[in-house]
Amino acid sequence: MNHPSVKYGVMGGFASIIITLILWFINPDYLLNYVGTIIGFIVLIYFMYMAGKEARELSDGYIDFGEIFKYLFIAFVVMTLISTIFNYILFNFIDTSLLERQKELAIKAAEKMATMLGGEDALDEITDKIEEQDFSYTIGKAIQGWVFGMILGAIIAAIQGAIMKRKDPNFNEFA
């Protein structure tokens, strides 16, 4: 596992699993709200950064945007694939009550929003729609979420790549 993208992608994926389990043991709601999202995002950024940093070091400290983007994006893909597989197992086999809890949190969020906007009629309508919604976490939904997540991964990799790239001052494109 010498490739920085694979190495840090696997490490990040397993770090994500450990953090998910810790949050689940502390309070399962943390997995379903912004706490888990923020922590997961920090882990993602960190391990992508480490992959890019090592890739740049392997290139004698100089790497162009396209090359570092590949390293960062591959790390993202590996990390999120591991995390998605684990989340599928968690939601469907380890703790199936998380799906129902997710629905309850969505209803609470709708209630909070409706009270802020002052519409009791809107609350009933939103609550009914949430109740009708399918919160199951199938393989298809997991894959679809992972694939759509690639857009976010590409954006993060592009931002990090733009920050981390470093041109070789001895390289002259016109020579």
pLDDT tens, 63-118?
A: 999 999 999 999 999 999 999 999 999 999 999 999 889 888 888 887 777 777 66
Cα separation, 158 vs 20, in Å, equals 26
Q: Give the type of residue at 80.
A: T
Task: Give Cα separations from 120 to 61, 124, 127 (angstroms).
Answer: 60, 7, 11
Whether the Cβ atoms of residue 38 and residue 16 lie closer than 8 Å to each other: no
Task: Give the ranges where the chain is alpha helix by DSSP (H).
Answer: 4-26, 29-32, 34-58, 65-89, 97-117, 120-132, 139-164
Helix (H) or strand (E) holding 1: none
Q: Can you give the pLDDT at residue 1?
A: 63
pTM here is 0.85
> Would you state the structure tokens that stand for residue 134, as one six-digit string?
């399918």
Residue labelled with tokens 């390293």? 71
Q: Can you give the pLDDT at residue 170?
A: 77
Q: Which of 141, 58, 43 is nearest to 92 (CA)?
A: 141
Stretch 147-165: mean pLDDT:
95
SS (H, E, C) 128-139: HHHHHCCCCCCH
pLDDT tens, 13-65?
A: 999 999 999 999 999 888 888 888 999 999 999 999 999 999 999 998 999 99
Residue labelled with tokens 């480490």? 50
Whether the Cβ atoms of residue 156 and residue 46 lie closer than 8 Å to each other: no
pLDDT tens, 117-149?
A: 666 666 777 777 777 888 888 999 999 999 999
Torsion from C-alpha of 144, 28, 102, 36, nearest 10 degrees: -50
